[in-house]
Homo-oligomer: A and B are copies of this chain.
Amino acid sequence: MQADTVRQSVVLRRRPSGEPDRSDFDIIEDAIPTPAPGEVVTRTIWLSIDPYMRGRLREQQTYAKAIEIGEVMTGETVGEVIASADPTLAVGDIVVGARGWQSHVLSKAAQLTKVDKAGAPISTYLGVLGMPGTTAYTGVTDILKPKAGETVVVSAASGAVGSVAGQLAKRAGARVVGVAGGADKCFYVQDSLAFDDCVDHRAMDLRAELAAACPNGIDCYFENVGGAVQAAAFDLLNPFARVAMCGMVSQYNQDPFPPGPNLGFVVGKRVLIQGFIVSDKPDRMAEWRKLAAPWVADGSLIYREDEIDGLENAPDALGGILGGRNFGKLLVRVGPDPH
């Protein structure tokens, strides 16, 4: 266990070319800060690793500021308050919302959400009950709106977002087909998540296998990956299909991006393609937590976590999630979790 006076931070050394790894980052040490009025310091227990982080390492940004060279890498954490200068939070409280690849994070109290230590496992506030779960909920509820009997395809189906998106579509009565990488993930998607079918995106003829799994075409597509999976899914879209554009992780390491599908089909089939970012609707996370917490408690909402130990391994973990080497919600265990 690290000394209680030293803080470790992962900072960007250089902009990665292709898949990021530890050589693109430095680990620096300084003193654990002291909170000013309205602030608290947390020790990080869990750090979330998410595909969007790759975008923050690019110079050119679309919706958020790039991480600068020498700046601490961003990321959501669950932590324990170890020093508080705000009346709303006490030492020992567990909070979510502190951002940074750091052993200890200084935050304004107003940016943090206190979570119930006696409720769901605290790591779930970074996954099934956190940003990824809320992302799935928003995309399915606001864009896909699957109807009973419709066919819904979810890419990256075993992942933190896809696994929830597919389960929500199942609850709506849809036939749900996952796309995932490899036999283990496909087995999990069908056996544990109870999707109706799952196609391995490494298949020799992905389009033919997806077509076979979707004999009535595709009414809704939850897009997490782009590339060949997108091309295959777009080919099979039915008239009036909806596409929730959540991410295109297959190309996050590519520069420049490859050409996309010809969009002529969008006209004739009246397809809706809608990009979205979960943080645009900040009220949705609380709404989702209220809805889903009972499902986590009764075991009816299935989730899976993939843990990596040690803050120093966070850079390789980011490389791993972009390469699909994680299996479930990827978390870095930064400090002990007594809960």
Q: Which residues of A contact B (CB under 8 A)?
A: 55, 61-63, 226, 230, 239, 245-248, 251, 257-277, 280
State in angstroms the CA–CA spacing of A266 and B143 once bound together: 14
Task: Return A221 CB to nearest CB of chain B, in Å.
Answer: 12
Name the contact of A226 in the complex, choosing from B247, B248, B251, B263 (C-beta under 8 A). B263
**Given A251-B262, A262-B260, is A276 in contact with B270 using a C-beta cutoff of 8 Å?**
yes
Name the contact of A268 in the complex, choosing from B55, B230, B262, B269 (C-beta under 8 A). B55
Instruction: Check if B258 sits within 8 Å of A260, measured CB to CB.
Output: no
State in angstroms the CA–CA spacing of A241 and B272 once bound together: 14
Instruction: Check if B265 sits within 8 Å of A62, measured CB to CB.
Output: yes
Residues of B within 8 A of A257 (CB): 262, 264
Task: Return A19 CB to nearest CB of chain B, in Å.
Answer: 17
Instruction: Check if B275 sits within 8 Å of A248, measured CB to CB.
Output: no
State in angstroms the CA–CA spacing of A271 and B274 once bound together: 6
Task: Return A66 CB to nearest CB of chain B, in Å.
Answer: 12
State in angstroms the CA–CA spacing of A55 and B260 once bound together: 22
Instruction: Check if A251 sits within 8 Å of B268, measured CB to CB.
Output: no
Name the contact of A246 in the complex, choosing from B55, B226, B267 (C-beta under 8 A). B267
Residue of B nearest to A62 (CB): B268
Task: Return A158 CB to nearest CB of chain B, in Å.
Answer: 20
Given contacts A61-B268, A247-B267, A257-B262, 9 further A-B contacts (CB under 8 A): A55-B268, A62-B268, A63-B268, A248-B264, A258-B262, A259-B260, A259-B262, A260-B263, A267-B277
